Structure 1
Amino acid sequence: MAFDPTTLKYDANGLIPAIAQSETGEVLMMAWMNAEAVQRTLDSGRVTYWSRSRQAFWVKGETSGHVQRLLEFRIDCDRDCLLMVVEQEGPACHTNRRSCFYTAVRDGSEVELMAPMAP
């Protein structure tokens, strides 16, 4: 059966959360996609998101060089969240860290789990 991006469950703004995960299982980031971003990602193999603040598409790594190449596109059981298994070049986070999930709460305090990567 051919995949149709319109069969996904988007929110009222036409967006669906998309989690980027490395091939080793590390969660890198979460961003938003609309149906066109989904199709662009599948067509190009380069992960394309929808920027809510800029109201524009952004191809991960287009300006930073920190490219995400799509390895596998997964849909959750409710069809309302996506998982992009990617090959990540360099940091995924705009703070220059490998992952956006670099802060944990331990014993009631925030703990930084990773420092920014060297340029």
Structure 2
Amino acid sequence: MLTIIWAGGQPGKISELRRMTQEEWERIRHDLPTNVKTYIDCDEDTVLISHPDFSEKELVEISDFDGLKFSDGLIPVVTKDEKGLVLMQAFSNLESLELSKNESLGIYFSRSRNQLWRKGDTSGHIQKLKRILAPKDGSFVVYEVAQEGAACHEGYYSCFFREQDRSGIKNLVPEIPFLGK
């Protein structure tokens, strides 16, 4: 499954988040307007579609997690910096959300390791959590953070350091700095 994030620019405002199969994404991808920018994350399981005309989804700051829609105990989390640049997408469970809120750090649930994951535990590149937001429908969460170092395990400030053109070729985005692992 892929996570597709629509955003009004990069940095920009989040418009929508949907989970879909690779086949569904391929059908949609070919029908996108020619002037959208498509960024692929480092693991190639999240796509950020950016266009300034995309409308902003209303996000509200949350302090409890009662209205969130978990699937198999998890909810997608989009992490952005204070300027609005989308840094990464991961998943959280209720425990990691509570810990994030209580410790003011970006804490997630690793599906591959089946355990909690504190961003920066091994790299030292931490996320100081400023706010937790969600749309009114509770379909995903947004962590607004002060990023210290690289958000991406590849060493880039954002996991969305490659832009994919219409033919599928991925090119580095010069505005996303490599900070080292």
- Length-normalised TM-score, structure 1: 0.90
2:179 equivalent in structure 1: 117
Gaps of 5+ in 2: 1-61
1:6 Cα deviation after fit: 3.7
CA distance in 1, matches of 2:102, 2:157: 26
SS in structure 1 at match of 2:156: coil
Residues 22 and 87 in structure 1, CA contact (< 8 A), matched pair in contact too: yes
Residues 8-46 of structure 1 deviation map (CA, whole Å, 9 limit, x = unaligned): 1001x2100001100011110000000111111111101
What is the 5 A alignment of 1:59-70?
59-70=118-129
Counterpart of 1:87 in structure 2 is 146
CA RMSD of aligned residues (A): 1.7
**Runs of 4+ with deviation above 3 angstroms:** none
> What pairs with 1:1-119 in structure 2 (closer than 5 Å)?
3-11=63-71, 13-108=72-167, 109-113=169-173, 114=176, 116-118=178-180
**Aligned positions, number:** 117
Q: Report the CA distance between 1:118 and its aligned residue.
A: 4.2
TM-fit CA distance, 1:112: 1.4
Unmatched 5+ residue regions in structure 1? none
Matching residue's letter, 2:93: N
Contact 1:6 1:35 in 2 (8 A): no
Q: Is the 8 A contact 1:48 1:59 kept in 2?
A: yes
Query: 1-side partners of 2:118 and 2:83: how far apart?
Result: 22
* Amino acid corresponding to residue 10 of structure 1 in structure 2: F
Deviation per CA, 1:54-110, whole angstroms, max 9, x where unpaired? 111011111210000101110113201011100000000000000001111224232
